[in-house]
């Protein structure tokens, strides 16, 4: 209660300052161009609608060349300013599709055969343009265009849609699924997979280790965490651009696995770049789980494991190295089958969780096995907000961001809250004290004026108003 109280009061205390700061952002942006404020918001995915859909690239950029007076203001002699301005326009010869009257913006086609992101970086690095932004194609609807998304009640319950305006995952936060394998042909998973490992045969996929799913369990857990989103079909995961590493710990159609194979698979995953390791098996009470959890933490990775489905009281252990997850129903009650006890760190939906199934299908799944990958997906998204975070810091963001829903022995810190988790993991918690408050606000503002690398909130390598816009949105949090 102390944490929530402090956070809320801090936001209230800083409301006036924040309003002034946000207004300053808009005023400065508008000073650049009549449309700049809108571009800044789109550039960070800054719609305040909780169901905002990330934009897609179109092969075009919006550019505004620096003017001669602008160069002179920066200290260049008149002649040199004219040369720089002319060079900026000449560089785009034959690529300008049209100009947007009144604001000086040009719609520029990316040259044929050139990667759009690379070209954007090249143009930006010339320093000759005031505005460099993708010509985003934005969706009018508030949520992903996957036709079965409406079935996924659990994603709204955990606050995922609001978080998606800031991150849906990136290649740097790999999630390993130690399970029964994954169906590599499933349309909502095939594009998410990175090379994996068969822990039973001790053989990497690249050397012939089989990772396809013999049982169906692994496909379902992977889909809950990271099914592709906004692709016009199927369902969506907690983070739909999270890379998934399939670690098959079972060669049995029944799905049973030895703990030793599970641990071997987890070790291989971490040594090959996984930041989050999800194990949706029973056995969390084994001391080996604590041991491998500590090993993962020491190497910058986080292990997530469900409490089991036996309905037991597990109060004889409390691993500090592993995120242990209990299961809830649609009313935020403990699921009737979920175990509980001091071991539980956090809770997540585990009843009628909708997602991909083996063979290209979809269905509802029930069990704590499906609660764990929801938390794992949240952890992977947290790392995309600040890749420098330690595993312990990501764990702390999960716990601190959880929404209290009752008895700690049932729910730990509460129901996982993706929105709060990614806020606390972001650089908006500027002083890294576990709270987002007025101290972060003033510290960020001061460092932003100095163009400090620490104020690169969106991690794009540039300090600009995109970062300021993103800071304001994250600072304000989920609209009430």
Domain holding 354: CATH number?
Answer: 3.40.50.200
Residue 136 has what pLDDT?
53
Residues 318 and 264 both lie in one domain: yes
Residues 121 and 184 both lie in one domain: no
User: Which token pair is 416?
Assistant: 């996982």
> Is 186 an active-site residue?
no
Number of domains in the chain: 2
Residues 114 and 241 both lie in one domain: no
Residue 344 has what pLDDT?
98
435 located within any domain? no
User: Which token pair is 380?
Assistant: 């992977």
337 located within any domain? yes
Q: Which residue matches tokens 């109280």?
A: 5
Residue 63 has what pLDDT?
86
Per DSSP (E only), the strands in 338-406 are 346-349, 353-357, 361-365
CA atoms within 13 A on the CB side of 473: 28
Q: Are strands 361-365 and 302-306 parallel, antiparallel or unpaired?
A: unpaired
Cα four-point dihedral sign 194, 200, 204, 206:
negative
Catalytic residue among 186, 217, 308, 469: 217
Count of C-beta atoms within a 10 Å radius of residue 267: 18
**C-alpha angle with apex 306: 304 to 310, nearest 5 degrees?**
165
> Is 369 an active-site residue?
yes
Residue 9 has what pLDDT?
33
Give residue 220's domain range.
149-425
Cβ–Cβ under 8 Å, residues 300 and 279: no
278 located within any domain? yes
**End position of a domain, from candidates 407, 425, 443:** 425
Residues 127 and 193 both lie in one domain: no
- Give the span between the Cα atoms of 369 and 361, in whole angstroms: 19
Residues 160 and 79 both lie in one domain: no
Residue 102 has what pLDDT?
59
Residues 267 and 119 both lie in one domain: no
34 located within any domain? no
Residues 323 and 208 both lie in one domain: yes
96 located within any domain? yes
Per DSSP (E only), the strands in 268-425 are 274-279, 302-306, 322-328, 346-349, 353-357, 361-365
112 located within any domain? yes
User: Which token pair is 97?
Assistant: 């599709």
Residue 15 has what pLDDT?
31
Residues 190 and 110 both lie in one domain: no
- Give the span between the Cα atoms of 242 and 383, in whole angstroms: 11
- Give the span between the Cα atoms of 401 and 385, in whole angstroms: 14
Cβ–Cβ under 8 Å, residues 277 and 301: yes
Q: What CATH number has the domain bearing residue 129?
A: 3.30.70
Which whole-number Å values give the CA distances from 288 to 41, 292, 372, in the listed order?
A: 47, 6, 18
Residues 327 and 405 both lie in one domain: yes
- Give the span between the Cα atoms of 412 and 430, in whole angstroms: 27
Q: Which residue matches tokens 């996929």?
A: 205
Residues 117 and 175 both lie in one domain: no
327 located within any domain? yes
Cβ–Cβ under 8 Å, residues 337 and 309: yes
Per DSSP (E only), the strands in 280-336 are 302-306, 322-328
Residues 221 and 92 both lie in one domain: no
Residue 57 has what pLDDT?
65
**End position of a domain, from candidates 376, 399, 425:** 425
User: Which token pair is 113?
Assistant: 């055969």
Cβ–Cβ under 8 Å, residues 395 and 382: no
Residues 207 and 258 both lie in one domain: yes
104 located within any domain? yes
**C-alpha angle with apex 119: 115 to 448, nearest 5 degrees?**
125
Which whole-number Å values give the CA distances from 446 to 26, 162, 316, 438, 441, in the listed order?
A: 18, 28, 48, 12, 9
Cβ–Cβ under 8 Å, residues 266 and 273: no
- Under DSSP, the state recorded for 230 is S
**End position of a domain, from candidates 81, 110, 135:** 135
Which of the residues in the chain have pLDDT under 70?
A: 1-58, 100-103, 136-150, 480
Catalytic residue among 33, 133, 280, 369: 369
Cβ–Cβ under 8 Å, residues 311 and 338: yes
Cβ–Cβ under 8 Å, residues 50 and 147: no
Q: What are phi and psi of 28, to 5 degrees?
A: -65, -40
Q: Where on the phi/psi map is residue 24: left (φ > 0), alpha (ψ -120 to 50), or beta?
A: alpha
> Is 250 an active-site residue?
no
Catalytic residue among 135, 146, 179, 345: 179
- Under DSSP, the state recorded for 95 is T
Q: Which residue matches tokens 């499906």?
A: 370
């Amino acid at each position: 209660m102390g944490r929530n109280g402090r956070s809320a009061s801090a936001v209230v205390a800083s409301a006036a300052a924040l309003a002034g700061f946000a207004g300053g952002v808009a005023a400065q942006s508008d000073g650049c161009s009549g449309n700049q404020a809108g571009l800044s918001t789109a550039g960070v995915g800054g719609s305040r609608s909780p169901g905002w859909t990330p934009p897609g690239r179109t092969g075009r950029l919006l550019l505004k060349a620096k003017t001669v007076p602008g160069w002179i203001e920066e200290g260049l002699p008149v002649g040199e300013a004219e040369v720089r301005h002319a060079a900026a326009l000449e560089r785009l010869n034959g690529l300008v599709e049209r100009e947007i009257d009144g604001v000086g913006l040009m719609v520029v086609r990316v040259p044929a055969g050139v990667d759009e992101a690379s070209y954007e970086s090249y143009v930006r690095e010339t320093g000759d343009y005031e505005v460099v932004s993708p010509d985003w194609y934005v969706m009018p609807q508030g949520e992903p265009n996957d036709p079965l998304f409406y079935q996924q009640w659990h994603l709204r319950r955990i606050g995922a849609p609001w978080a998606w305006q800031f991150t849906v995952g990136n290649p740097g936060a790999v999630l390993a699924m130690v399970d029964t394998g994954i169906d590599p042909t499933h349309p909502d998973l095939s594009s998410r997979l990175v090379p994996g490992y068969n822990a039973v045969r001790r053989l990497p996929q690249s050397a012939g280790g089989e990772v396809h799913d013999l049982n169906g369990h692994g496909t379902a857990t992977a889909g809950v965490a990271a099914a592709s989103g906004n692709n016009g079909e199927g369902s969506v995961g907690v983070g739909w651009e999270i890379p998934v590493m399939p670690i098959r710990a079972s060669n049995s159609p029944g799905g049973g696995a030895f703990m030793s194979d599970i641990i071997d698979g987890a070790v291989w995953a971490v040594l090959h770049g996984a930041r989050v390791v999800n194990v949706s098996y029973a056995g969390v009470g084994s001391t080996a789980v604590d041991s491998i959890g500590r090993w993962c933490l020491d190497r910058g990775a986080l292990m997530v494991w469900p409490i089991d489905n036996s309905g037991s009281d597990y109060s004889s252990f409390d691993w500090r190295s592993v995120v242990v997850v209990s299961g809830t129903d649609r009313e935020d009650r403990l699921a009737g089958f979920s175990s509980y006890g001091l071991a539980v760190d956090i809770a997540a939906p585990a009843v009628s969780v909708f997602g991909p199934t083996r063979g290209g299908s979809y269905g509802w799944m029930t069990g704590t096995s499906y609660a764990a990958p929801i938390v794992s997906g949240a952890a992977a998204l947290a790392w995309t907000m600040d890749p420098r975070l330690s595993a312990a810091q990501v764990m702390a963001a999960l716990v601190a961001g959880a929404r209290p829903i009752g008895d700690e022995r049932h729910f730990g810190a509460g129901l996982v809250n993706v929105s709060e988790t990614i806020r606390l993991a972001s650089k908006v918690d500027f002083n890294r004290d576990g709270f987002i408050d007025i101290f972060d606000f003033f510290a960020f503002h001061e460092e932003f004026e100095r163009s400090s690398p620490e104020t690169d909130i969106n991690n794009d390598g540039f300090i600009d108003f995109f970062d300021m816009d993103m800071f304001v949105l994250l600072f304000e949090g989920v609209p009430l």
